[in-house]
Amino acid sequence: MPGLTVTSPHAEEAVKARSMEEQIDLLDQLLKPDVQQSLTILVENLPKLTEMVNALTKTYDVAQSIITDRLLVDDFVTGIQAFVKPVEVKMKQYAAAAIEANDRADDNTEATIGVFGLIKMLKDPQVQKMLRFGQAYLNILTEKQK
C-alpha cells in the first residue's frame, strides 16, 4: 500500500540509540568549563546582541528598500553622471591638448630655445599662468612640510 511504511523494532532502537548518543555528546560539550564560560558571556550580552541585531535588521531593510527603488537608483545614477560628465569632457580636452602639444614638439625642427626665446615665451599669458600655478603649488608644498 502506498504511503504505508513498515519499520522494524531494530531500526527504531537504532534511531533511539543514535539520538541518545547525540544527547550525551551535547551534555559532554555543555559540561566543559570553556563552553560554560562562553554561554555565560553570551547570556549576559543577549540584550546588547539583540540591540545590534535590531540595528542591523533596520539597516538591511533600509538598504533593501533603496536598492529596490528603481526611481531612486535612476536618480542616483543620473546625479553621478551629471557630476562625472563635465570632468570627463575636461580630461578629454586636456589629454587631446597634451597629445597635440607632443606632436607639435616632435615636429618642431628649429634650433634649441635660447635665452631670447625664453624671454619671448615669458610674455605669453599661458606661460605666466602656468608659472603662477607652479609657484603657488610649490608654496603650498613648502607650507605643508613645515
Q: Which of 7-11, 95-99, 124-128 has the lowest mean pLDDT?
A: 7-11
State yes or no: pLDDT of 143 exceeds 90. yes
What was the pLDDT predicted at 116?
A: 87
Residues 35, 37, 41, 43: is their CA dihedral positive or negative? positive
What was the pLDDT predicted at 5?
A: 56
* 35 contacts: CB under 8 Å, gap ≥ 6: 29
Q: How far is CA 65 from CA 17, 27, 54, 61, 74, in A?
A: 49, 44, 16, 6, 14
Question: Which three three-digit cell numbers place residue 28?
Answer: 559532554
* 12 contacts: CB under 8 Å, gap ≥ 6: none
pTM for the full predicted model: 0.40
What was the pLDDT predicted at 110?
A: 75
Helices (H), 70-124: 70-107, 115-122
Q: Which of 25-34, 61-70, 89-98, 109-118 has the lowest mean pLDDT?
A: 109-118
Domain ranges for the chain, please list them. Answer: 113-146
Q: Give me the mean pLDDT over the 65-85 stretch.
A: 90
